[in-house]
Amino acid sequence: MSKTPIQFTLNGKPTSVFVNGGANLLEVLRRDVGDMTLKYGCGQGTCGTCTVLIDGEPHLGCLTLAETVEGRQIETVNGMADGPELHPLQKLFMENFAAQCGFCTPGMLMAASSLLNRNPNPSREEVVEAISGNICRCTGYEPIIDAILQAASSLRGRAF
């Protein structure tokens, strides 16, 4: 099978990889690049578990052709922490018990991170809307929503 070389930036680092024609970004990032933080949940764009940010916007890895990310900026949970220092979203997810099995957490954090980047002061409704494409079977969502609202507050405090 012929392979296509593609180059993109993954969590700030230039990355290049040969991909099979038609391969999706989820498989390429997991198997070829080795970033295991995004997960396979449904492979059909319904669960949000493979959410990544492409140029700051949330996208589903399983529905994104790998060739289309040529030259673009990709962010995953691997890029969230600053060295040993966790991102406020990560810290507040921990403190709010916003993960149980943890399988949806990387995708959930990406959706939340995208929201806070474009809207530093979201309402509860806006948080619910932002994570509405991410299915969590364990927590019942309330702790996740609380964690995102607290993280927004914490990030605003940091900015001022």
Partner 1 sequence: MSTIEFRKDIFADERDDNLNTIGKPEIRQDILGHVTGRSPYFDDHKFEGLLHLRCVRSIHHHAKIRSINTSAAEKMPGVVRVILPKDVPHNINTLLSLIGFGRDDEALLQDKKVAYLGEAIVAIVAETELQARNACKAVQVDYEVLPHVLDVEEAIKPSAPIVNDQYPNNTFDYHDLYDHQKLRFGDVEKAFSQADHIVEGEYQMSPIEQAPTETCGAIAAPEQNDRYVCYTSTQALFFSLGTTAKLLDMPSSKLHFVGGTVGGGFGGKVDSLHEPLAVLGAHLTGKPVKYTYDRAEEMQVGAPRGAERWRIKDGVMNDGRIIARQFTGFFDSGAYTRLSSYAIVKGTGHLPGPYTIPNVSSNVYCVYTNRTPATAMRGFGITGVDFSIECHMDKVAEAVGMNPIELRLLNAYRDGDMKAHRRIAKNCALIECVQVAAQKAAWLISPQYNAMSSLKDGGGERAQIPPTMIDDVGKIGERKSREIPTEPSSNGSMSTKPPSTIEFKGVSTAMNTVTPDELARPDLAPPTNTSEIAVPRPVPAAQPQAPQRSTTPYQQPVVTPPSQIAPASAPVVPPSAPVPNEPYKPAGDFQRGTKRPGNSPFVSGTRRR
Residues of this chain that interact with partner 1 (CB under 8 A) are 31, 34, 36-44, 46-47, 49, 76-78, 80-81, 86, 89-91, 93-97, 99-106, 109, 135-138, 142-143, 146
Sheet of 73-75: strand order equals 13-20, 3-10, 73-75, 51-54, 57-60
Q: What phi and psi values does residue 78 have, to the nearest 5 degrees?
A: -55, -25
Q: How far is the CB of 88 from partner 1 (least distance, A)?
A: 11
d(CA 61, CA 10): 13
Using only C-alpha atoms, the chain has a radius of gyration, in whole angstroms, of 16
